[in-house]
């Protein structure tokens, strides 16, 4: 009996150890096996781009752009996600609908000769009835037209009488009443202008006070030693993150030109400053006197999730960062 219990414990221990070993292997693979990426883009009057992310050859994400964005995710050889699946389904649905409509049209127009004769005979009968009904309706419409003409004549006579009464009342108005009305209108307009000016002055003064407060807060934020230290810390971590993410191989080719040579010279000066600060290898072909913007880029590298998590933990455990968030 004891021998059986020990055997069961041994088997369960081996199973647990295997499960733990598999978990450790998976976690280590996720943390230390890099995610590889490569991307290329090209612009010669039309933009095209392709990108690929892969992890151990098991998971792959393919992104391409050629007038339309296409995203596809695969696990081994099985597609997990594709944004073109909906389009394919809709196209299949449309084709099936077209086939159904064609079959229905064929069924509608496939009629026997006897049925066609019956339909023509049935169509003739209502035509005779419609002709009788039309003759009756013509007489009714003539009577209605006469009544409408009588109503119009009475309405015109009423309009003439009303216009005569209005002209008499306007003539009877006094000159002083008109002057009073104009003075009242001018007074109300002046009052509105004064109120508008007061409101604008208040808004301008309030905006100036708000700007002063914002400037004070910005000065306090910049001059604070803790904020300065936090800014330097963020810059250092950002540099480390760029080192982790930056591509191991890249190639940048560009062909740039402007019609104005002065603007071309300014652009070249800015590019030289960027080239000196970043150290990016860029092959640029300047063109003077022509408006040309063409180029291509190729990137290839890998990212380790462990190094990204280390940077994130450093930022999260920083006391100055915690104080900044708690404000």
pLDDT given for residue 64 in this prediction? 92
Q: For the segment 149-191, what is each residue's pLDDT rounded down to a tens digit?
A: 666 665 566 566 555 555 555 555 566 677 777 788 888 888 8
Q: For the segment 9-18, what is each residue's pLDDT rounded down to a tens digit?
A: 889 999 999 9
**Sign, Cα dihedral of 165, 169, 171, 172:** positive
Q: How confident is the model at residue 123 (pLDDT cuts 50, 70, 90)?
A: very low
- Count of domains observed in the chain: 4
Q: Are residues 233 and 310 in the same domain?
A: yes
DSSP 258-273: ESSHHHHHHHHHHHHH
Q: Are residues 42 and 90 in the same domain?
A: yes
**Sign, Cα dihedral of 230, 235, 241, 245:** positive
Q: Please compute the mean of the pLDDT values over residues 216-238 and round it to a whole number.
A: 81
Which residue's entry shows tokens 């209605």? 144
Task: Write out the residue range of the structural domain in which residue 125 sits.
Answer: 111-172
Q: How confident is the model at residue 125 (pLDDT cuts 50, 70, 90)?
A: very low
Q: Are residues 216 and 258 in the same domain?
A: no
Q: Are residues 122 and 204 in the same domain?
A: no
Q: For the segment 38-95, what is each residue's pLDDT rounded down to a tens digit?
A: 999 999 888 999 999 998 888 999 999 988 889 999 988 888 888 877 665 555 556 6
Q: Are residues 96 and 164 in the same domain?
A: no
Angle at 239 between CA 237 and CA 244, to 5 degrees: 95
């Amino acid at each position: 009996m004891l021998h059986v219990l020990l055997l069961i414990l041994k088997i369960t221990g081996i199973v647990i150890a295997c499960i733990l070993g598999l978990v450790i292997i998976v976690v280590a693979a996720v943390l230390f096996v890099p995610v590889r990426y490569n991307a290329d883009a090209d612009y010669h009057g039309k933009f095209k781009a392709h990108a690929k992310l892969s992890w151990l050859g098991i998971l792959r994400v393919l992104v391409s752009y050629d007038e339309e964005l296409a995203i596809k995710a695969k696990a081994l050889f099985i597609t997990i996600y594709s944004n073109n699946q909906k389009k394919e389904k809709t196209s299949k649905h449309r084709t099936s609908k077209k086939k159904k409509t064609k079959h229905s049209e064929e069924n509608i127009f496939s009629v026997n000769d006897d049925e066609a004769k019956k339909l023509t005979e049935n169509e003739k009968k209502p035509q005779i009835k419609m002709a009788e009904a039309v003759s009756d309706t013509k007489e009714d419409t003539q009577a209605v037209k006469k009544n409408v003409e009588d109503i119009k004549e009475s309405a015109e006579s009423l309009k003439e009488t009303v216009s005569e009464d209005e002209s008499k009342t306007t003539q009877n108005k006094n000159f002083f009443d008109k002057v009073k009305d104009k003075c009242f209108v001018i007074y109300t307009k002046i009052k509105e202008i004064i109120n508008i000016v007061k409101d604008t002055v208040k808004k301008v003064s309030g905006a100036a006070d708000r700007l002063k407060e914002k400037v004070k807060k910005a000065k306090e934020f910049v001059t604070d030693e803790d904020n300065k230290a936090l800014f330097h810390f963020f810059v250092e971590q950002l540099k480390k993150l760029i080192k982790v993410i930056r591509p191991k191989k890249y190639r940048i080719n560009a062909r740039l030109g402007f019609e104005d040579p002065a603007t071309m010279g300014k652009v070249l000066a800015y590019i030289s400053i960027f080239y000196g600060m970043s150290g990016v290898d860029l092959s640029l072909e300047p063109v003077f006197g022509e408006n040309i913007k063409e180029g291509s880029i190729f990137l290839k590298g890998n990212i380790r999730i462990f190094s990204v998590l280390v940077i994130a933990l450093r930022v999260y455990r920083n006391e100055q960062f915690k104080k900044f968030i708690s404000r």
